């Protein structure tokens, strides 16, 4: 039996389609023009985001913002590098909430304001894509360990699993006949990797909140691993006892390992990982190729995590 | 059925125009890259563009004869130019990889060709294209006779390997790869059913015109 019957809507009250469309455009305009005076977490698109200097800077030239926000791998919006920037306008990164559960003492949900309330730092990290190109990016975010501390992982927790949002209506790569990957996109880290001070949850880049194509509103950044480990638009973080699945590893286990540490000595079966192309200007004849560094140059900080491990077998 | 015929006197000019238009994407993109106007990874952008145009010209080459069979459009005069454009794009694609991408580090280039399957496959297609390009002249056609036709059937494995090379080069096979591979399969598949189709059409035509198929006629 239906207890509640909504009142029928008289035809005279239905918003004409033209007005509805105009309103959508106005909203979009407002967001783009910085008209949104509400809290940053409520605004669409990139807005200013304050952060203190985080003390990480490789002292290499930054990749231009235009490249960082237009050359992306984010298959939820399409497989082309330009697709995420071109096809993510309908994505709504607010409101948002990240559920943290699994082997934790205090499961919790974090909304955007709660995430923004962590102490945000700006950190300049190298980003090495598994496709042998790289960038230098000024992220804004906070150590993942700070969030993990809040939920109090149990002693039995050994791994951290991450999950991207599934919204076919807003993400064109998730709908249609052709689906490049199984959704949701999932990733994982060992708990000690997740707790490492270099591992951050990022909420912004280049002084602003993350644009949709970069994984708005919250993404993972693990600078010593290939870029695909940096899962975007996270909705769930689960602490587990067993090694969680990761999307690319499931797709092609011989090409993408669970660890995916940047390693110039272990080639991808179809291309060399010894060198990388630093994105950003230069044309054909600029020397943008450079040798790839072990652990992407973060060996001093992270090599001890893998002491005694065969990194050729655990690629 | 057919298009308005191009007067014969314009045929040579139209072929030269095809060469010019066909090479334009390579020339223009090279100009953009050389002057620093390609964003992102300019060498890879150029390399991939050359490879894609090579596949496009291979597919166009294979479309000439079905176009004549099925639509009555005879563009046979453009087939050599299309085939040669495909050849030059493959050569440019490989050169861009060797010179701009690998900077003539021959140990790396050899390792790529011998160790990485999709590159081996692409290289095989390039090698097979060489005899076709060398014999794409009237003299060779006269000289080789029926062996020329046989030799130029290599275009089918070349197109198949080209499409396979494209599919194996990406992380996930996407709609673009499927379109190219699908077209190549369709065009090669057409060759398999063509003899039967032509026989059927001949028999139908003879019925329509009231003529019995060839053979002894009733008295």
Task: Supply the ipTM of this predicted assembly.
Answer: 0.80
Measured CA distances, A41 to A60, A237, B16, B131, B198 (Å) = 31, 20, 60, 64, 67
What is the average pLDDT across A265-277?
93
CA distance B129 to B88: 10
**Token reading at B123:** 């290289």
Which tens digit of pLDDT belongs to each residue from B199-216? 999 998 877 665 555 555
The predicted pLDDT at position A162 comes to 98
Measured CA distances, B98 to A268, A273, B25, B27, B90 (Å) = 19, 17, 20, 18, 12
Is there a domain that residue B214 lies in?
no
Which tens digit of pLDDT belongs to each residue from A36-48? 343 433 344 678 9
- Fill in the DSSP letter of residue A228: G
Q: Which residue range forms the structural domain that includes residue B102? A: 11-205
Helix axes B155-169, B117-134, angle to 10 degrees: 150
Task: Output the CA angle A151-A47-A142, nearest 5 degrees.
Answer: 30
Which tens digit of pLDDT belongs to each residue from A295-308? 999 999 999 999 99
What is the average pLDDT across B42-48?
93
Residue A303 in contact with partner chain B when CB distance is under 8 A: no
Which of A67, A81, A284 lies nearest to residue B34, judging by beta carbons?
A: A284
Spell out the domains of chain A, with CATH numbers in brackets: 45-127+140-253 (3.90.420.10)
Contact B174 A180 (CB under 8 A): yes
**For A133, what's the count of Cα atoms within 13 Å in the CB-facing half-sphere?**
18
The predicted pLDDT at position B183 comes to 98
**Token reading at A156:** 């039995």
For chain A, the distance separating the N- and C-terminal CA atoms, rounded to the nearest angstrom, is 58
pLDDT at A178 over 90: no
Three-class secondary structure of residue B136 per DSSP: coil
pLDDT at B175 over 60: yes
Contact A180 B118 (CB under 8 A): no
The predicted pLDDT at position A28 comes to 46
pLDDT at A69 over 90: yes
CA distance A8 to A24: 25
* Minimum distance, in Å, between the CA of residue A110 and any CA atom of chain B: 33
The predicted pLDDT at position B98 comes to 94
Q: Nearest-CA residue of chain A relative to B32?
A: A283
Number of domains in chain B: 1
CA distance A209 to A194: 22
**Token reading at B36:** 């620093």
Cβ neighbourhood burial of A214 (10 Å; 0-12, 13-18, 19+):
buried
Is there a domain that residue B153 lies in?
yes
Is there a domain that residue B110 lies in?
yes
Is there a domain that residue B122 lies in?
yes
pLDDT at A33 over 50: no
* Minimum distance, in Å, between the CA of residue A42 and any CA atom of chain B: 32
Which tens digit of pLDDT belongs to each residue from B97-151? 999 988 888 998 999 999 999 999 999 999 999 999 999 999 999 999 999 999 9
Who wins on pLDDT, A149 or B36?
A: A149
CA distance A94 to B121: 47
CA distance B179 to B163: 10
- B98: which residues sit within 8 A by CB, 6+ positions away? B104, B109
Is there a domain that residue B5 lies in?
no
């Amino acid at each position: 039996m239906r207890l509640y019957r909504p009142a029928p809507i008289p035809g005279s009250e239905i918003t004409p389609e033209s007005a509805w469309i105009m309103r959508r455009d106005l909203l979009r305009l407002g967001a783009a023009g910085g008209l949104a005076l509400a809290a940053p977490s409520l605004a669409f698109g990139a807005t200013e985001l304050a952060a203190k200097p985080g003390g990480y800077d490789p002292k290499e030239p930054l990749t231009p913002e235009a490249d960082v926000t237009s050359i992306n791998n984010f298959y939820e919006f399409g497989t082309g590098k330009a697709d995420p920037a071109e096809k993510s306008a309908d994505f709504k990164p607010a409101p948002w909430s990240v559920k943290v559960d699994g082997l934790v003492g205090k499961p919790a949900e974090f909304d955007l304001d709660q995430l923004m309330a962590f102490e945000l730092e700006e950190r300049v990290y190298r980003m090495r894509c598994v496709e042998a190109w790289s960038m230098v990016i000024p992220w804004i975010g906070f150590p993942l360990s700070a969030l993990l501390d809040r939920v109090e992982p149990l002693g039995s927790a050994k791994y951290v699993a991450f999950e991207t949002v599934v919204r076919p209506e807003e993400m064109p790569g998730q709908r249609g006949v052709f689906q490049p990957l199984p959704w949701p996109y999932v990733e994982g880290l060992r708990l000690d990797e997740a707790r490492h001070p270099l591992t951050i949850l990022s909420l912004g880049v280049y002084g602003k909140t993350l644009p949709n194509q970069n994984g708005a509103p919250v993404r993972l950044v693990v600078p010593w691993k290939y870029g695909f480990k940096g899962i975007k638009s996270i909705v769930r973080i689960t602490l587990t006892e067993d090694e969680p699945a990761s999307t690319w590893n499931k797709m092609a286990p011989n090409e993408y390992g669970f660890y995916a540490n940047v390693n110039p000595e272990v080639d991808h079966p179809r291309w060399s990982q010894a060198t990388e192309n630093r994105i950003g200007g230069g044309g054909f004849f600029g020397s943008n190729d450079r040798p790839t560094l072990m652990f992407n140059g973060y060996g001093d900080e992270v090599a001890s995590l893998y002491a005694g491990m065969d990194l050729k077998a655990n690629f | 059925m057919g298009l308005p015929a191009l007067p014969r006197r314009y045929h040579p000019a139209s072929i030269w125009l095809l060469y010019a238009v066909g090479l334009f994407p390579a020339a223009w993109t090279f100009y953009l890259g050389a002057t620093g106007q390609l964003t992102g990874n300019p060498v890879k952008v150029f390399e991939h563009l050359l490879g894609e145009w090579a596949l496009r010209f291979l597919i166009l080459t294979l479309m000439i004869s079905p176009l004549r069979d099925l639509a009555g459009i005879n563009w046979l005069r453009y087939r050599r130019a299309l085939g040669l454009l495909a050849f030059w794009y493959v050569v440019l694609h490989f050169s861009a990889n060797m010179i701009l991408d690998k900077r003539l580090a021959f140990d790396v280039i050899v390792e790529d060709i011998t160790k990485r399957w999709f590159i081996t496959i692409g290289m095989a297609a390039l090698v097979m294209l060489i005899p076709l390009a060398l014999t794409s002249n009237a003299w060779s056609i006269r000289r080789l006779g029926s062996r020329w036709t046989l030799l130029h059937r290599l275009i089918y494995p070349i197109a198949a390997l080209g499409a396979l090379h494209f599919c194996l080069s990406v992380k996930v096979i996407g709609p673009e790869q499927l379109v190219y591979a699908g077209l190549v399969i369709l065009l090669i598949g057409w060759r398999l059913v063509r003899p039967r189709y032509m026989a059927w059409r001949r028999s139908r035509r003879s019925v329509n015109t009231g003529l019995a198929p060839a053979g002894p006629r009733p008295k």
